[in-house]
Structure 1
Amino acid sequence: MWGKILGFCFGFMFGKIFGAILGLYLGHLFDKSLKNNFDKAGGFSSLFSGDDVHERQALFFSSCFAVMGHIAKSNGRVSEIHIKAANLFMDEMGLKGEERREAQHAFQSGKESDFSLKETVHDFKERFAKRNDLIQLFLEIQIQMAFSDGVLAEQEKQLLAEVSKQLGISKTHFAFVLKRYQAEFNFRKQQQRFNQQQQSQGQSSSYREGSGHHVPPNNNMNRAQALALLGLNSDATQRDIKVAYRKLMSQHHPDKLVSQGLPKHMMELAVKKSQDIQAAYEYLKKSA
């Protein structure tokens, strides 16, 4: 607003009507640029105390595990695979003692018959309004839980679609996120198989500098897999690949997500997703 006002005034002083119009336009561009930078910095949340960030992190933490527990029980009972996946998730986050008990309690609450999925997701959405990257990551975590046994049951898919709807995510974007995670899931399984094969052969897997990923020397990933991981089709151009890569890396940047309310314990999740995206992009660059 102030950019437009000042631009109009200075423009009128030096160029009358024409100058005022030009100043108004330049002021508009300034305001828009300032707003974008402000949003990237965390919006008004950057003006709040650290306690506010901690409150958002606590809500993300409890809501995430509660909804995970609800989805895990969508088939009527929580399987051993889902329990193992939840515990593995807690291990990856380094949860111990009271923090782990809090996660387990939230997971258990999501399994209860009186658990309100709609209310829980609505409260989460209200607290993280306009934090689209965090909202999408929340959905991705729920998809990860549903995929923990390698199969997405119809009940799980329906629940995920309901969570997506309550989060304000369109059906089209939900389908995009779901398809991209399937590619990410397959990629990680492939990496695990490769590493196990290398270990059984007494060989050390090669390390791609800067990516944090163990990548097969023969690039054991085809173009279709790499494109799918970036959410692209086979007809994607190099420009499409670069744009998709930059967008996904921005969405999953760990430091930015933590500043917006992602619990620091979950930072490793964002790091792993960034590494997968990086590995796919590097493969596509070399295979071009």
Structure 2
Amino acid sequence: MLWPVTVLGAVAGLALASIPGALLGGLLGQVLDRRMRLSNWAALRERLGGKAAPRDDELLFILLGRLAKCEGRVLQVHIQQTRAEMQRLGLDAEAQRRAIAAFARGKTGRDNLRAPLRRQRAHSDALLRACWRMAWVDGRVGQAERELILLWGKWLDVPAAAQQVLSDAYAPRQQGPLASTLGSGYQQALTLLGVAIDAEPAQIKKAYRRLLSRHHPDKLAGSGATPERVREATERTRELHQAYDLIRQRQGFR
């Protein structure tokens, strides 16, 4: 780890007052580095430019925003997946507001994420699982999405083989009992959510969120479930997103 203000303080102190000055300048610089969380030159450049480095609680949603935008256009399923992640984490209203802002920030692609990710190595599995869920939410992973997640995994010290296991856990199955549940029909979407055709938007939203919580693959991923069960849960979550989006568009609510 390179503390930039520490280095600058030591150099300035050396020029002004020789070795005692270097020691004092380095000490004061380290205090500033720690207080402002400046662990590298990129973080210092961001701070000098008036743009703070991402906070730890913003990082996940910055990653999701960048993934959603990297193939060109943010889809409704990307937004729904982001909401599902907020629900999974149990964020309160203020935390949700910050998460939405972080998602929008991620879409710009302007943040240097190497240093923030290196600070999160202890949480690498949770971060990368969320990234692969976002990448697969539309049923495919584009080249740009894959390259981004593999790069982030490298910064998190996660081997490529482990990344492939995570990707496979959330990839859609080619066939099976859930593969044709949704189809393209409005009535099938209503049936999947378990709501009547005359249900109010509030009822539909409640049913959707309840089913998302019940079938979320994260509940299985850490419980020793087989990859097949995790894949089934991922597929059902994707179908729920699609069903809800179809009903929402047909009925004209947000």
Normalising by structure 1, report the TM-score.
0.43
| Higher RCO (CA < 8 A, seq sep 6+) | 1
Normalising by structure 2, report the TM-score.
0.48
